[in-house]
Amino acid sequence: MDKKLKTDFCGLSFKNPVIVPAGVHGRSGEVIREVSKTGVSGICTKTIVSKPVHDVLPCFTSVKAGMINSVFGSDLSSEYWFTEGIKEAKEGESVVIANLAGFTPEESAELAVRAEKSGADMIMLPTHCPHMGEILSAMFPGMENHEPKLTDLSPMKQAVKLIKAAVNIPVVVKLSGSFSNIVKEWAIGVKEAGADGIACSDAFGPALAIDTNTGQPKLGGPRGVGGLTGPAIMPITLRMVLEIAMTIDLPIIGVGGVTTADDVVQYIMAGATLVGVCTAGHIKGVKQYSKIISDLEKYLNRKNLDSFNSIRGLTVKRIEERKANKQAAVTEPLVPDVRQELCISCYKCMDVCAYDAVEIIGGPGSGGKVKMIPDRCIGCGLCVSVCPTDALEQVYYS
């Protein structure tokens, strides 16, 4: 593996920016050890809790742009993880991250102490599960399980402070996608609590999919809801990472919807140091991890970059440049240039243009290439984004 991929995070060395967040590929020490052979630099355990709860079934369903799950965490006991699981995971080739959650801040700290003693390299603390409350209430009638207020940061802050006082390994807080519109407040809170790093984000939700043959929700539980992951959430989680990078100076793990090396690069440009890949590995298999890492190496070589340091946070810089150059709100349309030598006559630009601003040279049916009609084009940019060969060029910002 190219040494140019190497990066540091919270004082730990990672051989590349790709890690596997909490999920099926962290379900046991044996699985973590085997998945580490794909080349990923770090792997999280499934969420370790003091009292495992069985998942309501079915607990996974594929949707158009990702997956919905109603998984709670590890179905293996904390005793297993702290006596066997983490020890076996450490036999692999990746940094081992203990993802854990207690019902109280004090319990989270107790779990963290045991995780460190068992050999975990880092602690990750999740903050909110969008489907857990109603399912636990249905499984255990009368159980006191109040849904936390999304604006109440105090349990997280207390847990971080207790964990930091009890362990010497890095502590990272993983934000929920549910905090999308208040991510700045949570980022500041994580920083104030004393965490070493921040991850963003966990699943969005509650989300729902329905079987139209039966009318049944596709997942188990009272309403069949779960957390949404996969490509559908990436534009939102990417924006959340950008806002975190523009708000605080903690190192960031970007998580959400990554399926390609280009996705990883986008997160790094938004300000992330490490990038989590989870749903893609679940849907496409562990080989997807190796492909993404290989393609990242090719990207660095193609761009003649020595590392990702030179592009980390590049988008933050570009936003600042827009403001400095008085380009924060450009309103004059720029008609795309057509590079005829690259046009393959796929006509995708015509399909998406709602203004009839694209026509075929030689007329319909001729198989000719496209050209723009300046009087009709409003410069919206949609055609540029769907062109598969970059035959359309539109440079609003230099």
pTM, entire model: 0.96
Q: Divide the 398 residues of the chain into consecutive groups of 10 and give the mean pLDDT of each group.
A: 92 98 98 98 97 93 96 95 98 98 96 98 94 81 74 97 98 97 98 98 96 98 95 98 98 98 98 98 97 98 96 98 95 97 97 98 94 98 98 95
Buried b vs exposed e over 80-102: b needs ≥16 C-beta within 10 Å?
A: bbbeebbebbbebebbbbbbbbb
pLDDT of 1 reads 73
pLDDT of 146 reads 66
Asked whether residue 228 is domain-assigned, the answer is: yes
* Residue linked to tokens 């919270």: 10
| Residues 291, 233 within the same domain | yes
| Residues 304, 348 within the same domain | no
| Residues 254, 311 within the same domain | yes
pLDDT of 287 reads 97
Are residues 339 and 48 in contact, defined by beta-carbon separation less than 8 angstroms?
Answer: no
What residue numbers bound the domain in which 100 lies? 3-319
Q: What is the CATH number of the domain that holds 126?
A: 3.20.20.70
pLDDT of 226 reads 94
Split into its structural domains, the chain has a count of 2
Reading phi first (left if > 0) and then psi (alpha if -120 to 50, else beta), residue 2 is in: beta
| Residues 335, 196 within the same domain | no
Whether the CA torsion 27, 30, 33, 34 is positive or negative: it is negative
Asked whether residue 83 is domain-assigned, the answer is: yes
* Rounded CA separation 83/75 (Å): 15
pLDDT of 4 reads 95
Buried b vs exposed e over 137-148: b needs ≥16 C-beta within 10 Å?
A: beeeeeeeeeeb
272 burial type by CB count under 10 A (0-12 exposed, 13-18 middle, 19+ buried) = buried
| Residues 335, 225 within the same domain | no
| Residues 311, 363 within the same domain | no
| Residues 313, 334 within the same domain | no
Q: What is the CATH number of the domain that holds 397?
A: 3.30.70.20
pLDDT of 326 reads 94
| Residues 136, 261 within the same domain | yes
The residue from 259, 289, 319 where one domain ends is: 319
C-alpha separations of 303 from 296, 299, 300, 308 in Å: 11, 6, 5, 11
Q: Write out the two tokens for 227.
A: 């957390």
| Residues 312, 334 within the same domain | no
DSSP state string for 79-93: HHIIIIIHHHHTTSS
Please calculate the CA angle 254-260-265 and round it to the nearest 5 degrees: 50
pLDDT of 133 reads 80
| Residues 341, 303 within the same domain | no
pLDDT of 38 reads 98
**Beta bridge partners of residue 13, listed in sequence order:** 8
| Residues 244, 142 within the same domain | yes
Buried b vs exposed e over 57-67: b needs ≥16 C-beta within 10 Å?
A: eebbbeeeebb
